[in-house]
Amino acid sequence: MSRCFNFSAGPAMLPTEVLQHAQAEMLDFNGSGMSIMEMSHRGKIFMGIAEKAEADLRELLSINDDYSVLFMQGGASAQFAMIPMNLLGDKTQVDYVNTGAWSKKAIAEAKRFADVNIAASSEDTKFSNIPDFSDWNLNKNAAYLHYTPNETIGGVEFHWISETQGVPVVADLSSTILSRPIDVSKFGIIYAGAQKNIGPAGLTIAIVRKDLMGKTINNTPTVFNYKNIADNDSMANTPPTYAWYLAGLVFDWIKKRGGLTAMAEVNKRKADKLYAAIDQSDFYQNPVQLDCRSWMNIPFTLADANLDKLFLEQAEVRGLKTLKGHRSVGGMRASIYNAMPEEGIDELISFMRGFEKENA
């Protein structure tokens, strides 16, 4: 067996130990004679798995009883519509912060339901920074404020949480959840697609403050109604059982490694190393302002874009895969979520130095 270092932005690497654990249980889960995939979601075995996964996530993020944890399908993209459908109530106005490609998608979807005020935007700097909070134009009548704490494509991350004087804060944490501790109590809703830092694609998790439920707009489909999902313990209809199980194994893996404080320490060290290697060279460049560089997604360009193809080919041979940047940005992108071992970063940096020496 040979596992590469996979820098994909998502679906992304999973911890090898987690995959091995799942492999060992694949055909016969715990003497049941069947795979998790083949079991009823309402049976005792799966209910136990589901409850443990939720309890472990609550422990990792210190989520208190004011919040429901929902296990859903549809990806973060479905949440772009579910947020306004579930939160507008009798309001019509919402605030959005535009810091990149994922913010824009969320905004486009919200516009189908609400009057969207762009409270702040970094579009004029090509999304290379985060607008100064003192310049934000917040609306106190907004049903909520939505932002994207980590822009997966641009590699821009908030290292702070905005204060909104009572307007609920809704955050798309798809690509940064579980990378470090966060204060959940500052948020109305946190949501994340699983395929970056939680588990396999197909599962979406939302952490929803209970008092925000029951404000759906008319005609909200039942399967998209947070309250209905919460009242049925995320089993109003068949949930993505296998993805839920795997997410549980990932939570367990994180706990065994010391929880989110330990993850943060490693993640910061990984990111610092790679940024240092980029900044120390004239050959590589990262466009993002220093104080909002992402710990998870690090885009970089080569001095000569004609070398991109060769870089990717040679990286692939070294077992450094999926480094091609997003089509809208070009260049390279290294996504280095929890499951990317520190050796993967060391190997990438060593490769980058060698490539520069030969081609600069």
Ligand X SMILES: *Cc1c(COP(=O)(O)O)cnc(C)c1O
160 in active site: no
> What is d(CA 145, CA 83) in angstroms, rounded to the nearest whole number?
11
Does 202 bind ligand X (CB under 6 A)? Our answer is: no
How many Cβ atoms are within 10 Å of 203's Cβ, its own excluded? 26
Please, what is the minimum distance in Å from the beta carbon of residue 240 to ligand X? 12
Does 75 bind ligand X (CB under 6 A)? Our answer is: yes
Residue closer to ligand X (CB basis): 227 or 333 = 333
Scored b (16 or more CB within 10 A) or e, 154-167 reads bbbbbeeebebeeb
Does 99 bind ligand X (CB under 6 A)? Our answer is: no
Please, what is the minimum distance in Å from the beta carbon of residue 317 to ligand X? 28
Please, what is the minimum distance in Å from the beta carbon of residue 336 to ligand X? 14
SS3 state at 86:
helix
Which tokens hold the place of 125?
Answer: 């700097």
Does 77 bind ligand X (CB under 6 A)? Our answer is: yes
Say which of 56, 95, 196, 244 is annotated catalytic.
Answer: 196
For residues 7 and 318, the answer to whether their CB atoms sit within 8 Å is no
DSSP structure class, residue 205: E
CA separation, residue 189 to residues 126, 252, 352 (Å): 27, 23, 39
> What is d(CA 191, CA 328) in angstroms, rounded to the nearest whole number?
24
Residue closer to ligand X (CB basis): 6 or 174 = 174
Does 8 bind ligand X (CB under 6 A)? Our answer is: no
102 in active site: yes
Q: Which of 29, 102, 226, 295 binds ligand X (CB under 6 A)?
A: 102
Tally of residues, the chain = 360
Contacting range for ligand X; rule: CB under 6 A; set: 13-21, 123-131, 172-180, 233-241: 172-180
Residue closer to ligand X (CB basis): 73 or 139 = 73
172 in active site: yes
SS3 state at 55:
helix
Catalytic residues: 102, 172, 196
Binding site for ligand X (CB under 6 A): 10, 75-77, 102, 148, 152, 172, 174-175, 193, 196
